[in-house]
Amino acid sequence: MAQASSQALHPRVADASLSYCLGSAALLAVTAAFLAQAPVANGPAALALAAAIALDAASRLAAAALSRRSGLALAMGGLPSLVLPLGAMPGLAAAVLALLPLVDSGRFPLVASLIAGLIAIGALARLSFIRSVLSHTGAETRDSGVGPQNPS
């Protein structure tokens, strides 16, 4: 994690937010189209996908708030994974779902549930990372004697 000012983080966060919002809107629009086509069959998967998108958006807002508050440039890294890129590019997931009728539109519940699971796993990984950063920065604050002290 690199130290950076909140002014330096703001443009990158704004750029990422626009593409993320557009991709999420496209994903929700494609999901709504499948839901309108067959509400009973596609309803649970569409609800799971919408809930996963909401959880992912909440985790991104929490990460942005922590970045602004702490001045840290938070970035999750590590081994390449299918989970994190799919959560970062909901437009890709929307394209996959949009092309699904060309193959088999009856597979929407399966594919949407898979995408919802991947997005939710990425969101939970981000929230876990935020929790780790908060506990680490809290330990540094306690060790330095600066800020509120927890007597327990």
Token pair belonging to 95: 């394209």
Q: For 119-136, what is the mean pLDDT?
A: 86
Q: Is the pLDDT of residue 105 over 50?
A: yes
pTM metric for this prediction? 0.72
Are the CB atoms for 91 and 26 separated by under 8 Å?
Answer: yes
Higher model confidence: residue 148 or residue 131?
Answer: 131
* Phi, psi (deg, nearest 5) at residue 89: -125, 75
Distance CA 131, CA 58 (A): 14
Q: Would the CA dihedral through 64, 70, 73, 76 be positive or negative?
A: negative
Distance of CA 69 to the CA centre of its chain: 19
**Cα 26-29-30 angle, rounded to 5 deg:** 90
Q: Which of 117, 50, 119 is nearest to 90 (CA)?
A: 119
Q: How confident is the model at residue 50 (pLDDT cuts 50, 70, 90)?
A: very high
- Region 72-79: mean pLDDT is 63
> Is the CB of residue 124 less than 8 Å from the CB of residue 83?
no
| DSSP helix/strand/coil, 89 | coil
- Average pLDDT, stretch 45-70? 89
Q: Decide which of 147 and 134 is more confident.
A: 134
CA atoms within 13 A on the CB side of 8: 9
